[in-house]
Structure 1
């Protein structure tokens, strides 16, 4: 397979965990993300480069192409500028499909991509005479929690196939209280329990490595990412008023900022606290800032504040909520690693897609395994 816009390798991590897949090329423009990818999957086939600078003759023939072109132009948090040049990078993805001629390709993007003009253009290329006329597209929304990820992250998934129609995968996990034999959604409790509630350090170790002839911070093991912050007294006072599932609307007037006081609706997850027995909301790139979303640790006690964990989640906790394995290693500064975590495809969502594709790639049609492996289910049962 080829991984385009590979980031730190969340999608590759999931496909490799599904067994039977081999990454022979990865392309990533950000140095620190490319360094993390190389540290986990090998530098020789990792290209730290602008995808447009990779010549056609260097694109190998493969069975599968995966990747998520940058989504900022589509994101609810972005400018929604249809002319954002990053939106056009899916055309480079098509160029790779044309030259690698995979049996299947998979695109991951934010939910708004499904209704964008860019997606309409992508669909148009599958018509007779189009660049992708050999391929049938299936597209829709997948909720990461439905596939074992302890996170309510909704994404557009596109599967292109020239070996017959391939539907989107069916959920492997169900909402608590739903009827069905599948295991229930995983929760923050499944991945945060057991980690020290008070991080021992506030910075990454002093460590550097050379990759692509560049000097980059790292390589860091996952425990190195359990780093705390130094909140102000005002922030601590705010944290202590926020119950699980709550947010800025739980704050007394004297702790509200002016913009919160004047904005009576919307941004309901701002200064929010997670819940132990639910998946988290979407982990974004600034999860270490509670004013950006529901990122406070779920432990809270109304009558015993000393037992509350009044801090945002750490980088390690965010990586676990994205279902990166604990043996994953990292390169970059704290901010760069946070971007890698927040921008990644959750590993277990990618793994579910990889398992789903296997029988089609092997010519056996859509034979769904009786029970898909789930490392969090195994941990829960233990």
Structure 2
């Protein structure tokens, strides 16, 4: 039997990437680092507290970094993101250097970096490429990089991410898609929103707007949780005006479907762009990217897909719930969560879809085994 592949997860968040690697079998987390308490607590609740380091990655001493076969993680990307400031001097963008420090000391056979698509055109990525050249800090490694669409790897979501695979056991290409739109030759069909929600016994009308009263101790701190998947099916209390707006929007539609009298002044003046705003999902398509404020329809195409035309058509006029967002991100039903509603939403939206991580983990596993 092949030995377990030891793994470090940096900027681990709630553990979406670790979830995928563990699901791929053969991987054993030996260290994880995350600065956000509630995300670290969620990780600990699912994968164990003993190897999670909650705190600033820069404060982890070199001597505390264990050897590992694989390092995974996504340094914070707000400075690269289209939604962020795009400030190349944003200190969060410098945290990739901490990632390199861990690679230098753990000497993994393979490392995987996940980030927003703009990372591949950033000055930081150019510097990373310089470090794998002769004389660089990572000269042992060969890089493969590109954009992967989560829907192409089994996620019911059109989420595009930059993936970099570094290897010192021979160049490893990016994994080939397993899914495609329609009925592509040799591939499975894209999963859609209906696939994600089907068989999950999800009520169209959540019974509560609050998480249960529950507390747990992690890292000697009390945090809300742990909450089961069904606990995350929490609704909101939209105004009558919001409900009226929701009812006018068909699947695939958005703010441009609203009659003039229901438009706020800011939308009346903005005749183009932001087409996803106040949008409704489609049952038979993957969702848009699940971001951290998916519970706000004014932030994107996050209205529930159920909508029938006509005055008597059955409609579910609400945004998706935390549970539904986690399903679209492909978190397993047994996954548990720590934090407030807002903190858990942030964890869900920032996570790597576990099935995308699982595809990467399965892809690199044979290369690692052959090198043992």
Write the distance in 1 (CA, Å) between the matches of 2:304 and 2:74. 29
Deviations 1:302-345 (A, max 9, x none): 11456100000000000000000000000000000000000000
Structure 2 counterpart of 1:185:
190
Does structure 1 residue 342 correspond to structure 2 residue 342? Answer: no
Alignment of 1:1-382 (within 5 A): 1-177=7-183, 179-193=184-198, 194-304=201-311, 307-363=314-370
Write the distance in 2 (CA, Å) between the matches of 1:35 and 1:249. 41
Look up the SS of the partner of 1:24 in the other structure: strand
Look up the SS of the partner of 2:27 in the other structure: coil
How much does 1:181 deviate? 2.1
How much does 1:192 deviate? 1.7
Write the distance in 1 (CA, Å) between the matches of 2:281 and 2:268. 23
How much does 1:200 deviate? 1.1
What is the TM-score when the length of structure 2 is the normalising length? Answer: 0.97
Runs of 4+ in 1 over 4 A off after TM superposition: none
Deviations 1:30-66 (A, max 9, x none): 0000000000000000110100000000000000000
- For the 8 Å contact 1:207–1:218, the answer to whether it is kept is yes
Write the distance in 1 (CA, Å) between the matches of 2:269 and 2:159. 29
Look up the SS of the partner of 1:329 in the other structure: coil
Look up the SS of the partner of 1:357 in the other structure: helix
Write the distance in 1 (CA, Å) between the matches of 2:34 and 2:323. 23
Greater shift in the superposed pair: 297-306 or 192-201: 297-306
Write the distance in 1 (CA, Å) between the matches of 2:343 and 2:312. 33
What is the TM-score when the length of structure 1 is the normalising length? Answer: 0.94
Query: Where does structure 1 lack aligned partners over 5 or more consecutive residues?
Result: 366-382
Write the distance in 2 (CA, Å) between the matches of 1:305 and 1:220. 37
Look up the SS of the partner of 2:370 in the other structure: coil
- For the 8 Å contact 1:240–1:305, the answer to whether it is kept is no
Write the distance in 1 (CA, Å) between the matches of 2:88 and 2:248. 40
How much does 1:259 deviate? 1.2
Write the distance in 1 (CA, Å) between the matches of 2:242 and 2:182. 33
How much does 1:258 deviate? 1.2
Write the distance in 2 (CA, Å) between the matches of 1:75 and 1:146. 21
Look up the SS of the partner of 2:42 in the other structure: helix
Deviations 1:57-96 (A, max 9, x none): 0000000000000010000000001100000000000000
Look up the SS of the partner of 2:25 in the other structure: coil
